[in-house]
Each structure stands twice: as structure tokens, then as C-alpha cells.
């Protein structure tokens, strides 16, 4: 079946550092979405990407939709303690209609 | 504008009982998705519904699980004869159009004892 590979699995960084995580797949995606999930809560949408090559920012977050439509990255600049959580990439697969598939998540921990 | 509402937030069932999970989508959203999440894992697609129609149920177990999204009322995920392996967080999401980014509810945490 289709796979979404998200890396790294976890990160432990110093407050103020920049963070980068990415997702890759062997399949082509129509959209790429990045969500954040806090403990005990549902995922919250951070950034949505719709076009190959698109680069979008939301405050300290920047994400890009890869040119090949098979990958995406998320950068967080100047991390702060409230950035702690699990970050998921997700995408609508071109050949699977509107099924939204998720990566396994990147656990972000910040040292203050 | 209320978000996606799921209830109950926590549900405890004994093995063999039925579990009913409810999801009210955001106002104006006619596309509903259900996902399951095991501890320390990502979200696994279960089913995609529009009003009165199941569009994609490729992620649903073949037995004991069913979902509906009636013309009136919330979407329901129903698990019959629950087993311990059904224990998980179940998330509902809704979107206003077929490729719109879904908004998620807070989830229902099912524990089977």
C-alpha cells in the first residue's frame, strides 16, 4: 500500500534553535498538509499546500510542496517551549481519491 | 463557529459490548472522515463519508465496524462486540469540499476492559 515516510521520528532541541522535518513518498500527492497534535487533543492544521513547488509560511512555520509532488518539508524557526508536540504530515493521494494518509509523526521536545 | 464535536471524550466498554462514537462536523461541512490512532503512532484512515453515502471504507475492518452519516444528525462509528485490540483514540474530521483540509475533533478514547 501507499507509504508516507516521515523523519526524524523524534527531536530534542534547544529553545531558540531552528527545526526541520520532512515527509517523502513513492506516490504522487494532490495536497500536503502539516498538523500538530498536543497530548490528549486532536490534530490541528498548521499549513496546507496545494501546488507543486509552493512555499507557504505561517508565523515561525514554513512548509514547501516538493516539485516532484512526492515530498514536503516543515521548518520551525526559533523554537519555543510551546512547540512541543507531535507533528504529522498528511496528503491526499492522487490515485486514491480523497483518502488522506498520515505520516507516523515527529515528536518534538524542546529544552528550555 | 463550533469546531468538530466528538462525544463521548472517553468511553469504557467491556469485551463483547457495543461502542458508539458520535461526531458532529463543523457547520457547512458535508465530508466526514474517521481515523484511529494507537498510542505513539500516527493516524490510520478508516472511512470517508458524505451525507448518506460511504465514499471510501477501505480502512475499516471487515467485521464488527460500521459507520454512517445520516441526512440529519451526527456521524456514528459503531463497533460491535468490542475486543481489547479496539482500544485506541478515534478521531473524526470534517471538510467543506472533497479536497479541503480536514479539521479534527478532540477524539474519543475507547478503552476495552
Number of helices followed by number of strands (H, E) in chain B: 0, 11
pLDDT bracket for residue A95 (50, 70, 90): low
Chain B segment 12-71 residues within 8 A of A by beta carbon are 31, 33, 35, 41-45, 48, 55-56, 58-59
User: Averaged over A40-68, what is the pLDDT?
Assistant: 95
| pLDDT at B40 > cutoff 80 | no
pLDDT value at position B2? 74
**Which of B43, B53, B54 to probe the A interface (max A CBs under 10 A)?**
B43
pLDDT value at position A70? 93
Q: What is the DSSP string of A49-94?
A: E-STT-EEEETTEEEEE-TTSSEEEEEE-S--GGG-EEEEEEEEEG
Cβ atoms of B68 and B79 within 8 Å: the answer is no
Cβ atoms of A63 and A52 within 8 Å: the answer is no
Mean pLDDT is lowest, of A89-93, B71-75, B91-95, for A89-93
pLDDT value at position A69? 92
Distance from CA of B105 to the nearest CA of A (A): 6
Which residues in A lie closer than 8 A to residue B55 (C-beta atoms)? Answer: 97-98
Which residues in B lie closer than 8 A to residue A87 (C-beta atoms)? Answer: none
Residue B25 main-chain phi, psi, to 5 deg? -70, 170
Q: Which of A78, A83, A73 is nearest to A110 (CA)?
A: A83
pLDDT in tens, A6-47: 999 999 989 999 999 999 998 888 899 999 999 889 999 999
Amino acid at each position: 500500500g501507499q507509504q508516507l515516510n516521515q523523519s526524524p521520528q523524534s527531536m530534542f532541541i534547544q529553545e531558540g534553535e531552528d527545526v526541520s522535518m520532512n515527509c517523502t513518498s513513492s506516490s504522487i500527492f494532490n495536497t500536503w498538509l502539516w498538523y500538530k497534535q498536543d497530548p490528549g487533543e486532536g490534530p490541528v492544521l498548521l499549513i496546507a499546500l496545494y501546488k507543486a513547488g509552493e512555499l507557504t509560511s505561517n508565523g515561525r512555520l514554513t512548509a514547501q510542496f516538493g516539485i516532484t509532488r512526492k515530498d514536503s518539508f516543515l521548518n520551525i524557526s526559533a523554537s519555543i517551549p510551546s512547540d512541543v508536540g507531535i507533528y504529522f504530515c498528511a496528503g491526499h493521494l492522487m490515485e486514491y481519491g480523497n483518502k488522506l494518509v498520515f505520516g507516523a509523526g515527529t515528536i518534538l521536545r524542546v529544552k528550555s | 463557529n463550533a469546531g468538530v464535536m466528538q462525544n463521548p471524550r472517553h468511553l469504557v466498554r467491556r469485551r463483547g459490548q457495543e461502542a458508539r462514537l458520535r461526531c458532529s462536523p463543523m457547520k457547512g461541512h458535508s465530508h466526514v472522515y474517521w481515523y484511529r490512532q494507537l498510542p505513539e503512532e500516527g493516524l490510520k484512515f478508516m472511512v470517508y463519508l458524505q451525507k448518506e453515502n460511504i465514499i471510501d471504507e477501505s480502512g475499516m475492518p471487515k467485521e464488527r465496524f460500521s459507520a454512517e452519516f445520516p441526512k440529519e444528525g451526527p456521524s456514528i462509528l459503531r463497533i460491535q462486540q468490542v475486543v481489547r485490540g479496539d482500544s485506541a483514540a478515534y478521531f473524526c474530521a470534517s471538510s467543506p469540499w472533497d479536497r479541503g483540509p480536514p479539521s479534527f475533533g478532540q477524539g474519543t478514547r475507547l478503552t476495552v476492559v
